[in-house]
Structure 1
Amino acid sequence: MSDWRIYRGAGVPHEGVRGLPEPPPWRDFTGAGTGPDSPNGAEGDDADDTEGADTARRLGARRRLVESLHPRPEEVEAVNAALYLRRPLLVTGNPGTGKSTLAHAVAHELGLGRVLRWPIVSRTSLADGLYHYDAIGRLQDVQLDRAVAGESDSAPARPPIGSYLRLGPLGTALLPAQEGPDGVPLPRVLLVDELDKSDIDLPSDLLNVLEDGEFTIPELERIADREPVTEVLTADGDKVPIEGGRVRCTAFPFIVLTSNGERDFPAALLRRCIQLDLKPPGDKQLAAMVSAHLGEEALEEGAELVQRFLRREPGQVIATDQLLNALFLTQRASGVERVTRDRLAEMLLRPLDRPR
């Protein structure tokens, strides 16, 4: 039996890492295989190129099976309510229940392009989501231009302010929408991930922006009389014109706010959202998820691990990506003995709420 280990703990340098197998589909960051002719995309679907590798990782290498994920009726109804009412969707649930994946599934099915993602941490402010102005960088460039002009006796060129402005994920989502082939403006999809990790003020700070669908950039407002239109960078890396320093959406984006339930949100925010509590996946959802990522064969070979996941104790928190990790490693690492497979499965399926 061959040795599956890459790192052996012997302290002797070797080149075994060159034989490292391909990564799991959900951890492939090369961006390869996301086109319409690859197994990562639906056949003939030109929109796959715009969705990007992130959607491929989240929805599965076989995205043509996404329609088999069997969302519950209440999940479909909540998404449609948010779309109809132009309201954010606040999705709560245990880790690994598919809260973030929901945004990618909606974007994929409706052909809304790449999902804009705004990950939230304790230091995140509203400004981080709207835009960033590199005032220090601009000042340094002005000083450098003056120094060069002093040596050449020519007047320094003033760097355009738009080169130092970049819209954040929320700011990009609120741009005037691009129109589809039929002239209908299409919304962007924005994932605001783990809002419950934020500072206590951020949920309240979001209220006006989510209600009005617009915001201003003071740095551009001040110069609007002499520079009414300024080109700035977006979170996509494109340049767009901003008129009068104001960004106003024409199609309210589909916004998914996720929360692991670690804190309560103010009633003013809850009133402006459609709320959805995601339950752990059932038999059909889990089978479709495993098939979409690893194929039908993995589902059959890993039936014991799948049943172990489904039979977990009530209230025990085990994320679905833990199951996918266990299935992938115990089946794909050649030369793994049975006892080692059992140890790996035990390690990878450790409940998240188990005391250390």
Structure 2
Amino acid sequence: MAHRGRGYLHDAHDESANHITELQLQDTELSASSSKAKGPNETFTVEPHAVNQQKHELGNAGPLFSIRKMGRSFANTVRSHVSAVMRTTSQANLAAEDRDLAHGLKGNAKQPNVKHSNTSWGSRQLSKLRNLFVSSSNERDLSSVGSERTESSTSAAGSSVNLTSTTTHCVACGNDNNVEDIGRAPCGHVYCRDCLQNLVKTAIADEAFFPPRCCRQTIPFGIIQTLLTSDLVLTYINKHVEFKTQNRTYCYVQTCSTFIGSGNIVDNVGTCRECRSKTCTICKAAAHDRGECPKDPALQEILKMMGENGWQRCKSCSSVIELKHGCNHITCRCGAHFCYLCGLSWRTCTCAQWDERRLLDHANLVVDRRPGAHELPLESFNLYESFNPSYTQLEVVNQR
């Protein structure tokens, strides 16, 4: 029995096409049975190998209809929920990106180059997603199923399927754009790639508009980054850090004025990453000698205390030194030698080399260190009495 070509099955409903194939398969089996029942002298209407070939092709068509039905269902589900999938994925990625950004800022680590092509619904992902499924209006004719066995894997991989592009209306420019070129704000408004980039550029240029918002709701960075260039993403991250920093420091060079982050600040001195100039983080002017700002309130309090107690500072390492006994020759722990009275290098001034009181303090200290000093009479310690009657007791004696 002759059968019609299976090209007409392409336009048939899945259930109808499957039923037609089953009927054709039964018809072929009956034809094969009748051929075997004929005697050897009878004429065969259908040769055995042709019947077997037809049975084989019809047997393979059934599973193909089931696969096509499942693929259509899945493709329709993806198309109808692509916006919801994008929003859900963007929210999940936002948490991961914020965590990476926080880890990069902690410990003054170098900020990583932000690329989330594997976790974001960018243009490549959506394009691949659409190409995975066959549109119901653009499927290949099932009559080519038999011939596909002879098609090489290379030519099969090179074949493409034309899909109907999904477009969305941009609320800013009013144009229709493909779904991979749009970003959806939390309020539900949709922006195309160009309009969203312009929105971000405006936000990073004026802090009053940062972060980008729509309907007074912040647009998450996870939605923004997939539609921005790499340079714009890096600028956005740097501005995010800058605008979140309190008491910011900028390069004092007016032609530069680059923001100096905490990772480039050491001991109240910030180093510009662009021109390498050093800026004082206290007064925001050029860095001072020895890193001390005259407007530093803590430094002014220390200087006031030094004046009240007669202390001196080392000109080399800026250490504060108090002399209790001995001569005015100071040997600092950094190795510098200077006069305790004026602070100049030793033997470069006309100050007295010692103060009698501190010399007597030193002598009393030496006597107190001797073995059996506690058995000596008080007169052996109180050397002040022979020098100045106003001194009645030594501090070391009072401590006993």
- Give the TM interval when normalised to the shorter protein: under 0.3
Indicate the structure with greater helix content: 2
TM-score for the superposition, normalised by structure 2: 0.20
* Structure with greater Cα Rg: 2
Greater RCO, CA 8 A, separation 6+: 1
